[in-house]
A = this chain, B = another copy of it.
Amino acid sequence: MTNKDARTPASVEDEKSEEAGKSIGWHKAYIAGTRPDLRVPVRQVHLTNGQSVTLYDTSGPYTDPLVDTDVRRGLSPLRENWIIARGDTEEYAGRPVRPEDDGIKHTSPRGGLRNLDAVFPGRPRQPRRGREGQAVTQLAYARRGEITPEMEYVAIRENVAPEVVREEIAAGRAVLPANVNHPEIEPMIIGKRFLVKVNANIGNSAVTSSIEEEVEKMTWATRWGADTVMDLSTGRNIHTTREWVLRNSPVPIGTVPLYQALEKVDGRAEELTWEIYKDTVIEQAEQGVDYMTVHAGVRLAYVPLTANRKTGIVSRGGSIMAAWCLAHHKESFLYENFEELCEILAAYDVTYSLGDGLRPGSIADANDEAQFAELRTLGELNRIAKRFNVQTMIEGPGHVPMHKIKENIDLQQEICDEAPFYTLGPLTTDVAPAYDHITSGIGAAMIAWWGTAMLCYVTPKEHLGLPNRDDVKTGVITYKIAAHAADLAKGHPGAQEWDDALSDARFEFRWEDQFNLALDPDTAREFHDETLPAEPAKTAHFCSMCGPKFCSMKISQDIRREHGGTRTEIEEGMALKSKEFAASGNRVYLPIAD
């Protein structure tokens, strides 16, 4: 797959014309930082009125026609020199990759050999970690008062002062997920003082999907605005799939190590051990996973609290840990070994995403005892992680009716010292399978307005099956809408400029600008052309929705033209001009063809 494949025909076309010097559509631009190797990508939209609008861009080098990407080679390691220059990390041999890492048993009827064709062919690399286990995290640097290149990068991206970024990270109110083994990423930040972010889940299951599909889903998701991607693969080739995704991802990658650990014990939860889990975390940290979901809050004593629930435990990780706790009648090995886990994560700068294993899976179970008992434990674990300088965010629900949403963010912020909240939806009703991107998009917009820092998308396939390419796009677009609606409601500086630019284009019938400024230019153009395909329609002062006679914006413009643009002009002008206006037999619409 080349970078062309990762883009839609429309955008390819736009960039071609951009190269040809025409200023239509959009093109990739870069904002320079204080050092030559610090260039922050933006999406520059060129308007037909000569102005241009700059938008946040998550699509990576794939949308830069001057960069020739190749998924077999991987992206260039943008941050490598920054990491080396800090001098606090070292390369080492690393853990040998075994067939079991890809879920292949020597005993397997399919034979014990790994699928060597699938092994990532890119440049050989050795893993890197902090010298003598010291914390090499952005949190440690921020606390020391250092503004790293990564911090400067996100400051430019968010259009704030670098010191604001450092402060928010140092206070634990924001995280900058950036594993020292994932130098390919374009740094981004997650925190309530910054733009609301969106995560897209990909990943094959035992039932379906392949490596190629997952890599394509990742580039496709970031093409439409995903700020991070979680690889939730649970099938075969789990290690190799992750390698391909990491080496080609311009955004931070998150995982749930427990899934791979369970594969290593053939799905027998009770056979899980701290050693197997730890080995898996190191395996993934060496590959470059930027943040990991850890369900350490599912404690033995909380499991009975779910007994009277309508839908029990709906988190995969939560149910696995609950089964383990009951099988051994022991406290969770994740909770028991949390400090050692902190030391490991600190050595690679892997960010915690403390999982909500007991989140409600139905309206009936929202905000119950089990959910909030776990949240209090997450608050306790958050404090421990901070002692080890590990960046931490907290995961949230789930299924929650609108009137119970605010309590979730308020409690989380209080209990977890304002650590970034990372929520799935919440879904505001259970009755619409096949439309849960919408049932959850409603809750997502609200909870983000109230302070959630990152939203985990939900696709139309939620509860029904594995999302395909179209579902991924629909999920991302829906959640970008929720995130931007929240940025507006929070009064985020500059957020409204985008809306204003599009509304100006709409009022002035600059159709091409309206399309190019849209979250999804392709579909906007396509919908318009369905009923008015002709080129003239692109300059027409109406569309098929109301037709020429009834276009209110056209009438509004006539009023301004006839009576002057400003309020006083209209007030003064009204009396004088009304006569001649009537006399002019002015028609308030363009005559129809017939």
Taking Cβ atoms with an 8 Å cutoff, the residues of A that contact B are 109-110, 205-208, 234-235, 259, 262-263, 267-270, 300, 303-308, 310-316, 318-320, 322-323, 326-329, 361-364, 401-403, 428-435, 438-439, 441-442, 445-446, 449, 460-466, 468, 477-478, 480-482, 484-486, 488-491, 496, 498-500, 502-504, 506-507, 514-515, 517-520, 523-524, 526-528, 530-532, 543-553, 555-560, 562-571, 574-575, 577-579, 581-582, 585-589, 592, 594
Task: Count the copies.
Answer: 2
Contacts of A558 in B (CB 8 A): 323
Q: Could you list 30 examples of A-B contacts with CB < 8 Å? A: A207-B532, A235-B547, A269-B588, A303-B559, A312-B556, A312-B557, A326-B563, A326-B577, A328-B578, A329-B579, A361-B552, A402-B488, A428-B445, A428-B488, A429-B485, A430-B500, A431-B498, A431-B499, A432-B481, A433-B524, A434-B520, A435-B523, A438-B478, A441-B442, A442-B481, A442-B485, A463-B506, A463-B545, A464-B528, A465-B532
Our pick among B207, B462, B552 for the contact of A315 (Cβ within 8 Å) is B552
Residues on B with beta carbons closer than 8 Å to the beta carbon of A524 = 433-434, 464
- Complex alpha-carbon distance, A594 and B107, angstroms: 12
Identify A432's interface contact among B263, B491, B518, CB under 8 A: B518
Q: How far is the CA of A320 from the CA of B556 in the complex (A)?
A: 9
- Identify which of A403, A449, A485, A488 gathers the most chain B CB atoms within 10 Å of its CB: A485
Partner of A574, one of B326, B361, B439, B556: B326
Q: A326-B581, A403-B449 are in contact. Are A544 and B466 (CB under 8 A)?
A: yes
Task: Check A432 against B327 for contact (C-beta < 8 Å).
Answer: no
Within the complex, the shortest CB–CB distance from A198 to chain B, in Å, comes to 14
Note all chain B residues with C-beta closer than 8 A to A326.
559, 562-563, 570, 574, 577-578, 581
A314 to B300, CA, bound (A): 59
Q: How far is the CA of A7 from the CA of B432 in the complex (A)?
A: 19
B549 touches A206 (CB 8 A): yes
Which B residues lie within 8 Å of A460 (CB)? 527
